[in-house]
């Protein structure tokens, strides 16, 4: 009787956890510079092991990443994301379904959705907005610094010449 009670109780806790977990994206936009890597945050709250669940990431109705049956399923992945996405399998037991996107391009900017289809909760999708900033052009600053160094070198040379001339006359 006691063993049956524990089995029923543990089954009940799994159902309650699965039913009560919501998918949470990011309230704030995530910013990244072109060429950098970024993590698009998404998790279940309260935490729930999604290792045996399907997890889907989409962008403008195209497939970014799919995880199913404990494996990445990237056959239908949009070509522009090929080889640039990954999840964190070791973290999925704690409800972390964040997506890592590498070598970000300007075309990656926009709204992403993380989705757990078989999650029995009111919120099975989370959203993340990615803002991609261009690489900052430092060429203007570098030009000014180089020019300042050259001017400083000319001034120092002129001072040295001016100081040596009176010494040579003596």
Q: For the chain, what is the mean pLDDT?
A: 83
Tokens of 102: 């590498």
pLDDT at position 169: 59
Select the more confidently predicted residue: 75 or 166.
75
pLDDT band at 98 (very low <50, low <70, confident <90, very high): very high
Q: What pTM, to 2 d.p., does this model score?
A: 0.70
Residue 31 pLDDT exceeds 90: yes
Distances (CA, A) of 85 to 31, 81, 112, 166: 17, 7, 13, 71
Percent of the chain with pLDDT over 70: 76
Select the more confidently predicted residue: 167 or 70.
70
How confident is the model over 36-87, as pLDDT tens digits? 999 999 999 999 999 999 999 999 999 999 999 999 999 999 999 999 999 9
Percent of the chain with pLDDT over 90: 62
DSSP 150-165: HHHHHHHHHHHHHHHH
């Amino acid at each position: 009787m006691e063993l049956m009670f524990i089995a029923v109780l543990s089954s009940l806790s799994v159902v309650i956890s699965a039913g009560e977990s919501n998918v949470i994206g990011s309230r704030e936009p995530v910013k990244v510079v072109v060429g950098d890597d970024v993590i698009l945050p998404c998790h279940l709250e309260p935490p729930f092991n999604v290792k045996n669940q399907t997890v889907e990431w989409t962008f403008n109705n195209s497939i970014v990443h799919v995880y199913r049956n404990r494996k990445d399923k990237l056959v239908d992945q949009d070509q522009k994301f090929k080889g640039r996405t990954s999840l964190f399998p070791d973290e999925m037991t704690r409800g972390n379904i964040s997506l890592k996107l590498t070598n970000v391009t300007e075309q990656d900017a926009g709204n992403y959705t993380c989705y757990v289809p078989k999650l029995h909760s009111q919120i099975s999708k989370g959203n993340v907005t990615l803002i991609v900033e261009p690489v900052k052009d430092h060429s203007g600053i570098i030009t000014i610094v180089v020019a300042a160094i050259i001017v400083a070198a000319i001034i120092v040379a002129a001072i040295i010449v001016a100081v040596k001339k009176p010494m040579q006359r003596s």
